[in-house]
Every structure is written in structure tokens, then in C-alpha cells.
Structure 1
Amino acid sequence: MKSEKSKNGLYSHFRLKSSMSFLMALLVFVFSCSESDDGQMQGPEPVMPPETSMAPDMSMFDDEGGEENRVNTIQNWAYAAINVGVYSSILYSHLIVPVRAFKVTINQEAHFNEDAGLWVWEKSFEVPSRGTFSVRLTAEVDGTDVSWTGYVSKSGVFENFVWFDGTSKLNGESGKWNLYESPENPEAWLSNSWEIDREVGNGNTSFTVEKEGNHQGSSITYSIEKGADYDRTVLINDVSNSNLVEVQWNKESKFGRVKSEAKYGDEMYHCWDEQLQDSECP
């Protein structure tokens, strides 16, 4: 009996010791994941803003078959394309480097820089006819708010130029961006605010021209409403000629409509069909 009690006591002691060891290991693991060597707590990784927050898809209004066709047979689509083209040109031509820099970071894995207390995304990328660049995107988390900074470099030309920065919510459902012109002229060209419903996919992005000139203060708002007949909308406020233009289209089928009192002299929609030909509105 004494021998059996000794064995039971030894087993209980071993089980208690194993449980304590497991608990200590668990605590070490938890603290190692949430606290850096210098005592700084590692915040949660923020949700990356969506691509549409900086690069909405307006490819619907790319060149479709030459100037003659655009003028003579698809005037409604062409008028929409001309107005949307002003902002597409800024984003996808003049500001193609920062826009591309942001887009290449979206699917990259982030790492946490303990010394700086920042989440960091890094990537090299090519821009046709402009060469090779690298981007270092950082995110500083403060509660539910995130501050983003996009540093862009080109070897032998410039280093760590802040080409875009902004803020967002930790869950990635709303935020703001600023895009700057160039390392030679580091002034703000566009600012924007954006929001998205992550579950449904609906959202909107509003750009405002900050650069001095005829279009300063003009704005364009791009919206997505999935399931609607016209599931994409662009609202343009051109302050240079006090013109308000509303453009709606179906992303898949390409039919759409445009409204502009300055152009048409009325407040009616003017439509185009799946082949971009002028058509009667439903």
C-alpha cells in the first residue's frame, strides 16, 4: 500500500509539474508575440486599404476604335470618356509611379519593425518607359487608427521620397490618401477619401485636385453598387467651367448613360448600348 501511494504521489507531482511547464511555455509564447525585446507592444496588423481607394477601375473609357468613331457614332460614351479621361490621365499617367507602388504592396506579406514600431511592406517594381523603382510602405497603428507612408526610391536618382501618405481605420473600411506630384515638385496633386463595405464590396472613392491650375478644386467620385443595373458611377465636378457630369455604366455589359446640363442643355440621361453606340434611354 505504501508503495502504491508513493507511485500515485509521484504521478500527481509529475502531472502538476508538466501542467506548470505547459502554462509557463504558453505565457512565454503569448508575451513573445505581443511584446518586443524593448517592451514595445506589437499592435495588430492593419487591413490594407483596397485597390479602389487609390486606383479605381475606369478602363471602360479607354480608347475604343479611333477618333472618328468616337465623334461620329458614339458621342454619349465619348463625352463621358473625355471627362473621365482627365482624372484617368492624372492617376495612370502623371501619378503612375505612386499608384503602381501602392498596388504592388497589396498582396505582399508585411513584417513588424520592432525598433520603429511599424508594419512594413517592401517591393521592387517596374514602370514601362520609366524604369525600376522600390517602395517601402509603412503603417503605424494607434488604437483603431492607422497612419500610412509610402516611400519610393529609384537607384541613383532619388531615395525614400514620400510619394503618398494617408490614414485609415484598422479594419480597412475607410480612410484618406494624399498623392504628391514628384521628387522635383513635392507638392500635393490629389487628395481623396474612401470607404468600402468589405462584406458586400460596395464603396466609393472621392478625389480632389489640389494642384494649382484650372482644375484645382475639381473632384471626381467613383462608386460601386453591386447588383444594380448601372453598378458603376462617376460624378465629376469640373470647377474650370462649372460643369457637373454624372456617368453610370454596367461593368460587365458596358452599356451606360451620361448626364450634363452644360453639354446637353437638359437634366436628362443620354445613353449608349453594349457596343457603345448612342441609344434611346430605357
Structure 2
Amino acid sequence: MMHFIKIFPILLAIVAVGLIVSCEDENSLNPGNQAPTIPPQSSMIINFDDFPDTSSLSKLDFSQLTNRNWGWAAHNIVFWNSVLTLTFAIPVAAFAESFNHQPVKQPDGSWLWQYSVTQQEPIYTAKLYGKTVAEGVEWKMLITKEGEYTDFEWFTGFSNLPLTEGTWTLNKDPNSPSPFLFIEWHRNVQEETANVKYSLITPTSPADSSFIFYGKTNEVLFNRFYQIYNAENNNLIDINWNYEQYFGRVKDAIYFEDENWHCWDEKLDDQDCSE
């Protein structure tokens, strides 16, 4: 009896360790037992504020500009920002709010984040579903506006398990419930680099396949970039700039009527690219 009393704590410890290992193994073998991590906001939302001083763009007179190069780059960025902000304000706000809530596991193995979102006075109900599959997580956002529409599927998506890349597909709105925007995103957390590309899905429009591509890099001289493609006139605009010091350059064969870079300095004034 005394022998048993002495070894009982040891047996208890072994059993406890076994239970812990068993639970860990179960979670690793069946990741559906754990709520998936929502992809970062940057996977859906380009930070247009990264580009220097676009707030004063509406006041500029392009015919009088001494910073025409920066101004043309900013004009194209602000245009896309305006289109995306007006078109997708509701689903973007709903996605951003999801990070403030905890999910509940559903009978089918998916996880549900459910909450309310206020966007310009109306209150919307958002349901974000995430379901772990073999290679990653499938996402779906349903949004309800009382009296107008119920559980409209505003976007779907997929992210890989390490959360280093994924996609989103956004439908235009409840009145036009068809795919309108495709988003591809990548990031490297260790190197602090990332990129996201928005492409229009408008098969009946000349603008189909137009895109804006934003990236954050580790390059010393220019550590941010945009590529803006207009499918209607088959034109690609390249924009590079230094995030910390504001200087940059733009290339647009149609607007500048050449294939050269056109630069601006840290004060956003035009500058010879050889300087």
C-alpha cells in the first residue's frame, strides 16, 4: 500500500502528460477544432495613405504644377481609392470589424463571427464564416440590411494555413450580385514585405482585367510601388517611391509620351531622374 502511495503521484503525472499530448495531437491532426485566424486587414485593404500627401490633390492645377510628376501618380492612385471606397465601403467595414469579435463553432465544422456594423447610420449584420480545409481556410461573408436584403454573399476567399497568401472575390452589390473584384495577396512577415493586387472582373466592359497592384519591399531606394493597368487603352503606369523620404518616380507612356521615368524629390517637386 505504501509503495502505491509513493508511485501514485508519478502515475498521475504520466496520465496528465498523456492527456495534454493527446489533446495537442488531436488539434494538430484536426485543425478544425481550432478557430482559423482571419487574414490581416492588409490582405483586403490597400493603405492608400502610404503615398505622400494625396490629401491636397483636389486643390492642384495640373496646368500650373511644378510637381506634375508626383501629381499624375497621385491622381491615378486617388482615382482607384475613390472607386474602391465608394463601391466596397460596406464589406470592407464589415471585414475590419471582424477582428473585434470571437467566433463560435458551427455544426458543420466551420466557425462563425457574427456582429453588427454601423456604416453611415444604417446598421448591418455581418456573418463571417471560416472553414479549415486540407490546404488552408475558406472564407465567406454574408451581410444583412434589415428591410432590404438578407445574408447577401458579399465576398468569398481563401487563405493558406501559414497566412502568407490568399485571395478574395467580391461581388459588386445586392443589386448586381456577380463577381466584380478579384484580390490576390502575399506577405512575408519575417522580411516585412507584402503585396496586394485588385483586378476588375467586368466581362462585358472594356475595363475588364484592369488592375492596381501595390507592394511593400525591402529595396533601399524605392521601397513602395504601384502598377496601375487600364485595359481599355492597354496602358500600364509604374510608380515607385521612398516611403520615409517621399521622393519617387512615375512612368506612363501615354501621358508623358515616352518610355522614361519622371521623378519627384522629397518636396514632391519635379526633378531630373539623373540627379
Give TM-score, length-normalised by structure 2.
Answer: 0.85
1:242-276 CA-partner distances (Å, limit 9, x unpaired):
11100112223322211011111221111122332
Rounded to whole Å, the distance in 2 between the matches of 1:119 and 1:184 is 28
Specify the code of the residue in structure 1 equivalent to 2:133. D
Mapping for residues 189-204 of structure 1, pairs under 5 Å? 189-204=180-195
Aligned length: 268
Q: Does 1:182 align with 2:173?
A: yes
SS of the residue 2:83 aligns to: helix
> Which stretch has the larger CA shift, 226-235 or 183-192?
226-235
Rounded to whole Å, the distance in 2 between the matches of 1:120 and 1:265 is 52
Q: Pick the structure with greater CA Rg.
A: 1
Offset of residue 96 of structure 1: 1.2
Change (3 A) 1:85 1:66: closer
Contact 1:42–1:114 (8 Å) recurs in 2: no
Give TM-score, length-normalised by structure 1.
Answer: 0.83
Indicate which of 216, 221, 225 corresponds to 2:213: 221
Mapping for residues 110-125 of structure 1, pairs under 5 Å? 110-125=102-117
Offset of residue 41 of structure 1: 6.9
Specify the code of the residue in structure 2 equivalent to 1:89. S
Indicate the residue corresponding to 1:210 in structure 2: 201
Specify the code of the residue in structure 2 equivalent to 1:230. F
Mapping for residues 119-138 of structure 1, pairs under 5 Å? 119-127=111-119, 129=120, 131-138=122-129
What is the RMSD computed on CA atoms of the aligned residues?
A: 2.6
Indicate which of 24, 31, 41 corresponds to 1:51: 41
Offset of residue 167 of structure 1: 0.6
Mapping for residues 30-41 of structure 1, pairs under 5 Å? none
Indicate which of 228, 239, 257 corresponds to 2:231: 239
Offset of residue 13 of structure 1: 1.0
Q: Which runs of 5+ in 2 are unaligned?
A: none
1:119-138 CA-partner distances (Å, limit 9, x unpaired):
333333332x3522232222
Q: Which runs of 5+ in 1 are unaligned?
A: 1-8
Change (3 A) 1:162 1:64: same
Percent of aligned pairs with the same residue?
25
SS of the residue 1:63 aligns to: helix
Contact 1:33–1:42 (8 Å) recurs in 2: no
Q: Does 1:98 align with 2:91?
A: yes
SS of the residue 1:188 aligns to: strand
Offset of residue 115 of structure 1: 1.4
Indicate the residue corresponding to 2:158 in structure 1: 167
